[in-house]
Amino acid sequence: MKVLITAGPTHEPIDPVRFVGNRSSGKMGIAIAEEFAARGFDVTLIKGPTHLSATNPKIVQIEVETAAQMYATCAQYFTFNDVIVFAAAVADYTPKNPSAIKIKKREEEFSIEMVKTADIAGELGKLKRPGQVLVGFALETDHEMAHAQEKLNKKNLDFIVLNSVNDKGAGFQYDTNKVTIIDNSGNVTKFDLKPKTEVARDIADYVFKIIETKK
- Burial label for 173, CB within 10 Å (0-12, 13-18, 19+), is exposed
The Cα 76–Cα 161 span in angstroms is 24
Check whether 98 has a pLDDT greater than 90: yes
Residue 175 pLDDT: 83
Residue 204 class from Cβ within 10 Å (0-12 exposed, 13-18 middle, 19+ buried)?
A: buried
The structural domains of the chain, with segments of one domain joined by +, span 2-214
Please tell me the predicted confidence (pLDDT) of residue 165: 75
What is the reported pLDDT for 213?
86
Q: Which long-range contacts (CB under 8 A, 24 or more apart) does 97-103 make?
A: 98/12, 98/13, 98/14, 98/15, 99/14, 99/15, 99/16, 100/15, 100/16, 101/15, 101/16, 102/15, 102/16, 102/17, 102/18, 103/14, 103/15, 103/18
Cα three-residue angle 64-68-73, rounded to 5 degrees: 55
Catalogue the active-site residues: 22
pLDDT at 172 over 80: no
Helix 196-214 vs helix 27-38: crossing angle, to nearest 10:
60
Q: Do residues 10 and 64 make contact, with C-beta atoms less than 8 angstroms apart?
A: yes
Distance CA 29, CA 8 (A): 7
pLDDT in tens, 142-158: 888 899 999 999 999 99
The mean of the pLDDT values for the chain is 93
Note the pLDDT tens digit of each residue in 109-144. Answer: 889 999 999 999 999 999 999 999 999 999 887 888
pLDDT, tens digit, for every residue of 32-73? 999 999 999 999 999 999 999 999 999 999 999 999 999 999
Indicate if the pLDDT at residue 5 is higher than 80. yes
CATH number for the domain running over 2-214: 3.40.50.10300
With a cut of 90, say whether residue 169 has pLDDT above it: no
d(CA 155, CA 126): 8
Q: What is the pLDDT of residue 171?
A: 65
With a cut of 80, say whether residue 170 has pLDDT above it. no
Q: What percent of the chain has pLDDT over 70?
A: 99
166 has a pLDDT exceeding 80: no
**Cβ neighbours, 10 Å, residue 197:** 17
